[in-house]
Homo-oligomer: A and B are copies of this chain.
Amino acid sequence: MAKQPSLTSQSDDFSAWYNELVYRADLVDLGPVRGTMVIRPYGYALWENIQRELDAMFKATGHENLYFPMLIPMSYFQREAQHVEGFSPELAVVTHAGGVELEEPLAIRPTSETVVGELYAKWVQSYRDLPLLYNQWCNVVRWEMRTRPFLRTTEFLWQEGHTAHASEEEARFEVRQMLDVYATFAEEFAAVPVIRGEKTEGERFAGAVQTLTIEAMMRDGKALQSGTSHYLGQNFAKAFDIKFNDVDNEQAFAHTTSWGLSTRMIGAIIMAHGDDAGLVLPPKLAPTQVVVVPMGRGNDEAGRARVAAEVERIAGALRGAGVRVRVDARDANPGAKFYEWEQKGVPLRVEIGPKDLDAGTALVKDRLAADKTAVPLDGLVAYLVEALPAFHDRLFERARAFREERTVEAHTFEELVAGVERGFVIATHCGDPESERAIQEATKATVRCIPLEGISAEGTTCVHTGRPSGYANKVVFGRAY
């Protein structure tokens, strides 16, 4: 635990702060291939907690998991015109295997709609076979030019849901339902407030009729798209021949959806909550919720033994109460330990030394608070158990207040230009893709989404072109990761 130079502050260079922190907090390491990352145990434990909670929500909404092969014949991508255009430039291609050149090159999945389409066509014959409500947890590869750990990596981990339905109505219900699952997860587990909205045409998933998104604000005011849910219409059903006999015995194409959330969510958690001391992890997902540091060194062996016994009692009681607790009894400077666990974002720290035992108290340090609180030992476990959900609420509220403070409504283009320097801008837009591009060139900001529950644009005119609104609601502009 050698002392490190201090972390770059967010205000000095947010990007440097992020790039330093992901390594220092033992979340990732660089992979040997450009743009790949090793997710280290501390980062992976965060992902496991995300997986566990999301997976339970998927199952509670009637979905089952399965697994599709990773290698997809290149020709499959040709079948859906927009899809091939969107994904071809990013494919990693296997041309040789088993020592010989393959007859047809194989792509590593960048997403699985094509192979899913091929199989769903086989599994769906009658309306009785519908809906198919499936999800897979897997790795995907997209050859990106500029990469950053968690935010954009050559290979990443995600889940991709793929469903097929007999009617458009049912499919659209599914798309919205899964967006709501993502939003609920982001807010109630990651403590990240999100805006639910629809993407404009230019930002849609390649091959989708509609893309819904959850957008979160990072602590530099920029937006991070954190999960998307797509209504694919009958595009993939037609491309892959997913058709069925409906209740009237007529042939019909299925309506399909897909929805995904990835290890990018870890980036959202880092950047929505972190501060100059490091990570601040939401308790429901934190690998360690409470760290207990036994104090007292030197030659007071009896004191140390008393402390160790009390620490074990507390840790045991916390485990029994379902708290993820870690005892840090390493032979090291307490200051270095505090520094490390603060950097790793552990919500609550407990310090107990011989003097605390004599006083019948322990010191509790809250990652969001400046001071320590002396808490009576006999009420300590109950105090900590209650402090965790309260910590979640405060963390969420802090992020929400931050977003509110950095969100402005713009009525002129100048207001938009000024607003996106700090955060989100709510404004009317005409919906013209040309205007979107021009705004992006001028401000680096894009339409993040048209909020599902937003401010009506009725009677208002575009902040850029002065034309009538292209959407029912005012849109959210922001610079994005």
Interface string of A27-54 (1 = CB under 8 A from B): 0010111001111110111011000000
With both beta carbons as reference points, the residue of chain B lying nearest to A31 in the complex is identified as: B69
Binds B, one of A4-12, A93-101, A183-191, A398-406: A93-101
A32 B69 Cβ-Cβ under 8 A: yes
Given contacts A33-B69, A36-B71, A69-B32, contact A41 B118 (CB under 8 A): no
Bound together, the chains give a CA A424 to CA B44 distance in angstroms of 42
Q: Report if A108 contacts B (CB, 8 A).
A: yes
Bound together, the chains give a CA A309 to CA B39 distance in angstroms of 49
User: In chain A, residues 314-347, which have Cβ atoms closer than 8 Å to a Cβ of chain B?
Assistant: none
- Interface of A, secondary structure class, is mixed
B95 A99 Cβ-Cβ under 8 A: no
User: In chain A, residues 112-160, which have Cβ atoms closer than 8 Å to a Cβ of chain B?
Assistant: 115, 118-119, 122-123, 134, 138-139, 141, 143-145, 154-155, 157
Q: Report if A89 contacts B (CB, 8 A).
A: yes
Binds B, one of A60-68, A215-223, A373-381, A449-457: A60-68
Q: Which residues of B contact A32 (CB under 8 A)?
A: 69, 72-73, 76, 115, 118
B70 A141 Cβ-Cβ under 8 A: yes
Q: Which residues of B contact A286 (CB under 8 A)?
A: none
User: Which of B73, B95, B141, B154 is close to A33, meaning CB atoms less than 8 Å apart?
Assistant: B73
Q: How many chain-A residues does the 8 Å CB contact rule pick out?
A: 56
Interface string of A270-291 (1 = CB under 8 A from B): 0000000000000000000000
Bound together, the chains give a CA A366 to CA B221 distance in angstroms of 62
Q: Which residues of B contact A118 (CB under 8 A)?
A: 32
B70 A41 Cβ-Cβ under 8 A: no
Q: Report if A92 contacts B (CB, 8 A).
A: yes
Q: Report if A90 contacts B (CB, 8 A).
A: yes
Bound together, the chains give a CA A201 to CA B362 distance in angstroms of 58
B41 A66 Cβ-Cβ under 8 A: yes
Given contacts A41-B134, A66-B44, A154-B71, contact A98 B94 (CB under 8 A): no
What are some 17 contacts across the A-B interface (CB < 8 A)?
A: A31-B115, A33-B71, A33-B73, A33-B106, A36-B71, A41-B64, A43-B66, A44-B64, A45-B64, A47-B67, A67-B157, A71-B154, A94-B95, A96-B105, A97-B143, A108-B108, A139-B139
